[in-house]
Chains A and B, each alone.
Chain A
Amino acid sequence: MPGKLKVKIVAGRHLPVMDRASDLTDAFVEVKFGNTTFKTDVYHKSLNPQWNSEWFKFEVDDEDLQDEPLQITVLDHDTYSANDAIGKVYIDIDPLLYSEAATVISGWFPIYDTIHGIRGEINVVVKVDLFNDLNRFRQSSCGVKFFCTTSIPKCYRAMIIHGFVEELVVNEDPEYQWIDRIRTPRASNEARQRLISLMSGELQRKIGLKVLEMRGNAVVGYLQCFDLEGESGLVVRAIGTACTLDKLSSPAAFLPACNSPSKEMKESPLVHPPSHGCRSTHNSPIHTASGSRLTQNFSVSVPTLIYTGMGSGSAGKEGGPFKGLLRQQTQSALEQREFPFFTLTAFPPGFLVHVGGVVSARSVKLLDRIHNPAFVGIMGNTRPYKLLDWNSFNSDEPETRDAWWAEIRQEIKSHAKALGCHAVVGYSESTSICEEVCILSASGTAAVLNPRLLQDGTVEGCLEQRLEENLLPGCGFCHIPYDELNMPFPAHLTYCCNCRKQKVPDVLFTTIDLPVDATVIGKGCLIQARLCRLKKKAQAEANATAISNLLPFMEYEVHTQLMNKLKLKGMNALFGLRIQISVGENMLMGLASATGVYLAALPTPGGIQIAGKTPNDGSYEQHISHMQKKINDTIAKNKELYEINPPEISEEIIGSPIPEPRQRSRLLRSQSESSDEVTELDLSHGKKDAFVLEIDDTDAMEDVHSLLTDVPPPSGFYSCNTEIMPGINNWTSEIQMFTSVRVIRLSSLNLTNQALNKNFNDLCENLLKSLYFKLRSMIPCCLCHVNFTVSLPEDELIQVTVTAVAITFDKNQALQTTKTHVEKSLQRASTDNEELLQFPLELCSDSLPPHPFPPAKEHLESASSNSGIPAAQRATSVDYSSFADRCSSWIELIKLKAQTIRRGSIKTTVTVEKSSPMGEGNFRNRSAPSCASSTVGVVKMTPLSFIPGAKITKYLGIINMFFIRETTSLREEGGVSGFLHAFIAEVFAMVRAHVAALGGNAVVSYIMKQCVFMENPNKNQAQCLINVSGDAVVFVRESELEVVSTQQPAANCQPACTGEVTT
């Protein structure tokens, strides 16, 4: 019984009139947690009741505390008939379960009803008394912090980044249960909301357990999604990156966290033999053997890989020192570590060594009732669960879905290996479901990471080879990680334009944010590829097959479009690439968004050349040359627009390119479900030069036209889908987060691929144009983190949802004050970073004395000699034998360092802990008069991980909310637009209210993960489901912060306190 939950119902306001006769309401409140319910007295005849209840106390297990939401129901008392529900509030009490976050939840919450929307507000106070429980077999994972932010949260530092954690839970969807036929829509919606809330809690708890097993204390980049599989059930799944975080200002939590990991790290090389298995496949890219991988339409490529030293069984055996019990516990954790994946998109400097390119995998599955495990793939002969040796089928449901994802992840991993990378960063997973067909997708960026922050042994094997390149600022990550002479695919390599030493590809695609230290020329821009493909309506297997057959072509075309648009912009790299393939009844949609930039390290991109098929036709020739001119003009214009003027580099310095000067893509992916011939999709355009667009039919003509129809944003506007816009750093504090939704109905008459493409393209372009227009008052401004999602809710409907944040920036670089300020803060940031990294850096230099510096010298020499040692040769010269020694020695060092840090920082802690509450108090006092006339404090929301011009001082916990709204009076609520507009506004309001109740004033890393909208205008009905998440934080304006810090000259903590990271 390790927890006591205390709830007090204070008051209500703006309640709806429930009694027509008196125009008043007799309200009372039910407070429910688990199976216990308390009630307040009835407050008669008031729309603003003052209950001022006693403290309702629930004595509960912490397991329940994590799973269950607190449920508050406001009702209208009726003497003669049943009491009418006014609405509910669900409060996730998770933020109260870890010490550093919120201590109390107190504030006004909107009372929400799934039929009527928000109906008044209720003031609630919630507290939790938690008793420490040292039971190691416990099922709860209280204390593990969760962050949606996909980088190390601003006021923490990463001690260890453990790696990938995932979990999924399934259940029947209440909407599809038999009881749904007899209950009201409200009851059904509430059952669903409650179930998802419960499942999210359970999921989070289970993930937390895995993190604890890994000896971590936090999950960063936590992404939880739910799949509405309809008849076959409801899946809630989550992925994240387990870390051991240390709060920069208060090392309280750091003491226990630091001893245990170092202990485990010693063991880790033993526990993780996979690292060796991993390395064995390293020099021979697997996809040479991949031709045999496919059986029928579904990928069972996985087993071969699994059994070559990667299986959990073998790991368990080799991990001899583990006791049986422990093995059972760690088994799942080990399995996770098979996947060296990171959901992070931004990293501590120096963490990312090389980037290989985008890896992605998709798989088409047929959904069946989840509780029927025998049927997995459409071809009954492939049953991954058998191959994967799952030990039980009793609780079979998650295993089926688990197996599906395991397959995909294996595939991603093998792709990464083919690119010479041992890790995948910026990893994400998604699904698209239509009826019983489901496309599972995963993508990430293959990368080589620096082991300093990785506890895990699996990644060590192939690391050191290029460690030295870290010291080259701004270009190291571009250098190819794979063996030049044994390239996984033919590629066009040149010497890095920055260091002139290493080889780089000519284009680079990634799913991560632009690394802070990357040298970029000019500004970036949002690049989108949009594509529709019709497909025949079909059932079950036929449908899945049709989709599988279409997918490779879509991938190819999306890639071509991206490449062409990138060239058209005169840029050479894509960041934040996200390709979404959505499936509908009669079509597939592909939407790829990314931010294009010009990386100084990569060669200048060539132009686009158009070639006709019939060279003899004079007018045709003329037309072609006209097009060519237009394209050239566009490229020139874009270069000017985005300020891309790279320094001219003479050919001699670059050196002659590697033979086979062909345009090759950096995008490697596969259609696991595609037919046998197309195993690895070669996106390198066969023997043709990709720069050449051949116009041989009208289709190609369309393509060229569509290339030119993308209108650049109006002047003063920039847009990107990454966290920040390369080339802009003088942000001002004005931000505006927004969500925009559009649904168009296609006229079914002219449904051709071209017409579809045009419609889809127009839809997206018009949407962007609308955004630019609406936000024109913010100019100069940049739309950051532009996140498009496409879905096909019905036959002829396309829905596009965009969430982004507009941030103004100071255009006048000449304004000295701001400039210096920015510079100062940047400088501060960099010193901060150094500070942050000081210990790992020392570590490396200590443990690898000869390595970091000599290579730099070597670079200088070879740069002058200009011939250079081929990268491959040097790679092989890396000393593997000393690997284990080094490993253990730097673990010792971590321990040592950790101790000294601990000792050294005690003083700091005290001052900081003293100052931070005061700082907060200051902030609260301040915020009050600023909105004196209004009682509602401002809560900022942003999809970014930071707030410009401010410093995040505290993370209060994760916000993860799920709402359903339904109406049977659609017309009266202003039609579909009115309905959804009001609903989204209400969702924002509820998020803000929860954040405010936690004591926060902003949500960062906000994301609307799902917005499922269904309508039935004939019945005057509509329903919408929305799932949002983010991190509740407290931020302090930089200007206020300076006041605070000068008031309290705590010399020690100042770099930590004021070090503003505006990156």
Chain B
Amino acid sequence: MTSELDIFVGNTTLIDEDVYRLWLDGYSVSDAVALRVRSGILEQTGATAAVLQSDTMDHYRTFHMLERLLHAPPKLLHQLIFQIPPSRQALLIERYYTFDEAFVREVLGKKLSKGTKKDLDDISTKTGITLKSCRRQFDNFKRVFKVVEEMRGSLVDNIQQHFLLSDRLARDYAAIVFFANNRFETGKKKLQYLTFGDFAFCAELMIQNWTLGAVDSQVDDMDVDLDKEFLQDLKELKALVADKDLLDLHKSLVCTALRGKLGVFSEMEANFKNLSRGLVNVAAKLTHNKDVRDLFVDLVEKFVEPCRSDHWPLSDVRLFLNQYSASVHSLDGFRYQALWDRYMGTLRGCLLRLYHD
């Protein structure tokens, strides 16, 4: 006796959250059944393995049919085939677009292309996330990217509107899209200590301040492309380190203000010129795409690591950065105050977030 066909269709589509999770995690039906058995569900319900198998198959089939709709969530709301209560619809969508930290760290900033897709095997082996789940997450990134890439208006709003995600998740996707578009390098060994959250935080600041959208809300790609003009202008900041008088004056202003307030004052004093040169050079280099990509590497190399090696506490870093940014206003010979604020305001936020172990 073999089962040829075995289906269950409810007027209200039955969604089992546990099975959905297993499906999203990319487990095969048999693996999912095994995992469910291990969860002790048979003992709780008195069901048999065959029942579990049939149930899992059913749910998998349903999810498979729903997947097409989940690719364009508004369709899920308007479709007539599956009657699903709104709260369940939201749950389906949110879970479908939720990604694994380990996975996102692997692909963040990479081009969402076929080439990267081929690397998914390696990512799967490395992270222990099933290939299937990797593919789903990758395809989600790519799909969201494709839809919002050339759209006007706020990136987060666009994502929310087209994918009906929660605010939190939409912000994360905005970061992913932003990183993918600008191809920031995040995979280097020295960046491994950074979490997706760190990058997402920086991305948000950068979107707010460094993109076209920050100055003009009526252009295409406003939130995904950095403001080229701004990047060009950043070269002007070089004066801060190239002009020896300015550099000395800047240093003395900062040192005067922080004397006695900083635990690591002597180290700061000794390193000031290096740090300042690092930060300003990062800005000056941003005209080249290659250097834009290395932004985070540079920041960590030029600022985070030196400070960390001198054991600066975070509070001192904050005090320093605040003073470092503010002191420039007192440099009469420096004309690019607004530019400096736009640059340093964001960078300060990023650096503080990036400064941890």
Residues in chain A within 8 A of chain B (CB atoms): 13-14, 108, 110, 118, 121, 714, 736-747, 759, 762-763, 766, 769-774, 776, 797, 799, 931-936, 938-941, 974, 976-978, 980-982, 984-986, 988-989, 992-993, 1013, 1015
Contact = CB atoms under 8 A, between A and B. Distances in A.
23 contacts: A108-B80, A110-B80, A739-B8, A739-B9, A740-B8, A743-B3, A744-B4, A747-B1, A747-B2, A763-B1, A766-B54, A771-B8, A773-B55, A776-B45, A934-B78, A934-B89, A935-B78, A981-B7, A981-B58, A989-B82, A989-B83, A992-B11, A993-B80
Given A773-B47, A934-B89, A985-B65, A736 B5 contact: no
B243 to A, nearest CB: 57
Contacts of A776: 45
B61 A985 contact: no
A714 B11 contact: no
B86 A933 contact: yes
A980 B1 contact: no
Interface string B23-52: 000000000000000000000011110111
B113 interface: no
Contact of B50 (A13, A745, A766): A766
A1036 B154 CA distance: 42
A736 to B, nearest CB: 5
Contact of A737 (B10, B57, B62, B89): B10
A774 B1 CA distance: 23
Contacts of B2: 744-745, 747
Contact of A742 (B5, B11, B89): B5
A118 B45 contact: no
A774 B4 CA distance: 20
Nearest to A993: B80
Given A13-B78, A985-B81, A976 B5 contact: yes
Contacts of B52: 773
Cβ-closest 8 pairs across A and B: A743-B5, A738-B10, A743-B4, A737-B11, A984-B9, A941-B11, A981-B7, A989-B80
A437 B1 CA distance: 26
Given A13-B78, A769-B51, A936-B80, A738 B5 contact: no
Contacts of B57: 977
B81 A741 contact: no
B325 to A, nearest CB: 44
B83 A984 contact: no
Given A14-B75, A740-B9, A772-B47, 18 more contacts: A118-B80, A714-B45, A714-B46, A738-B8, A741-B5, A743-B4, A745-B3, A770-B8, A770-B51, A770-B55, A771-B8, A933-B90, A940-B11, A941-B11, A977-B5, A981-B7, A981-B9, A988-B9
Contacts of B14: 736, 774
Interface in B55-102: 55, 57-58, 61-62, 64-65, 75, 77-83, 85-86, 89-90
A763 B90 CA distance: 36
Contacts, number: 143
Interface in B171-205: none
Given A769-B48, A985-B65, A738 B80 contact: no
B256 interface: no
B315 to A, nearest CB: 45
B6 interface: yes
Contact of A980 (B5, B13, B55, B62): B5
B309 interface: no
B125 interface: no
A738 B7 contact: no
Given A14-B79, A737-B11, A769-B48, A742 B61 contact: no
Contacts of A773: 45, 47, 51-52, 55
A981 B65 contact: yes
B97 to A, nearest CB: 16
A773 B8 CA distance: 12
Contacts of A745: 1-4
Contact of A986 (B51, B77, B81): B81
Nearest to A976: B5
Contacts of A763: 1
Contacts of A714: 45-46
B295 to A, nearest CB: 37
B61 A981 contact: yes
Nearest to A1013: B5
Contacts of B7: 740-742, 977, 980-981, 984
A104 to B, nearest CB: 19
A992 B83 CA distance: 9
A774 B58 CA distance: 10
Contacts of B80: 108, 110, 118, 121, 936, 989, 992-993
Contact of B55 (A121, A774, A931, A989): A774
Nearest to A942: B11
Contact of B64 (A736, A935, A974): A974
A938 B164 CA distance: 20
Contacts of A118: 80-81
Contacts of B50: 766
A989 B61 contact: no
Nearest to A110: B80
A747 B2 CA distance: 8
Contacts of B4: 743-745, 797, 976, 1015
B47 A934 contact: no
A934 B86 contact: yes
Interface in B295-319: none
A745 B10 CA distance: 25
Contacts of B77: 933-936
Interface centre among A118, A746, A981 (most CB of B within 10 A): A981
A746 B8 CA distance: 21
B324 to A, nearest CB: 47
Contact of A982 (B54, B55, B65, B86): B65
Contacts of B55: 770, 773-774
Contact of B82 (A121, A738, A974, A985): A985
A282 to B, nearest CB: 47
A457 B77 CA distance: 57
A741 B3 CA distance: 11
Contact of A736 (B3, B10, B89): B10
A769 B13 CA distance: 19
B83 A939 contact: yes
Contacts of B11: 736-738, 940-941, 988, 992
A932 B119 CA distance: 42
Contacts of B54: 766, 770
Contacts of A976: 4-5
Interface string B97-113: 00000000000000000
Contacts of B12: 736
Contacts of A769: 47-48, 51
B83 A938 contact: yes
Contacts of B6: 741-743, 977
Interface centre among A714, A985, A986, A993 (most CB of B within 10 A): A985
A770 B75 CA distance: 31
B40 to A, nearest CB: 14
A62 to B, nearest CB: 31
Contacts of A741: 5-7
A823 B83 CA distance: 33
B1 A989 contact: no
Given A14-B75, A769-B48, A936-B77, A744 B8 contact: no
Contacts of A941: 11
A334 to B, nearest CB: 43
Interface string B226-263: 00000000000000000000000000000000000000
A297 to B, nearest CB: 34
A771 B57 CA distance: 14
Contacts of B5: 741-743, 799, 976-977, 980, 1013
A280 B44 CA distance: 63
B55 to A, nearest CB: 6
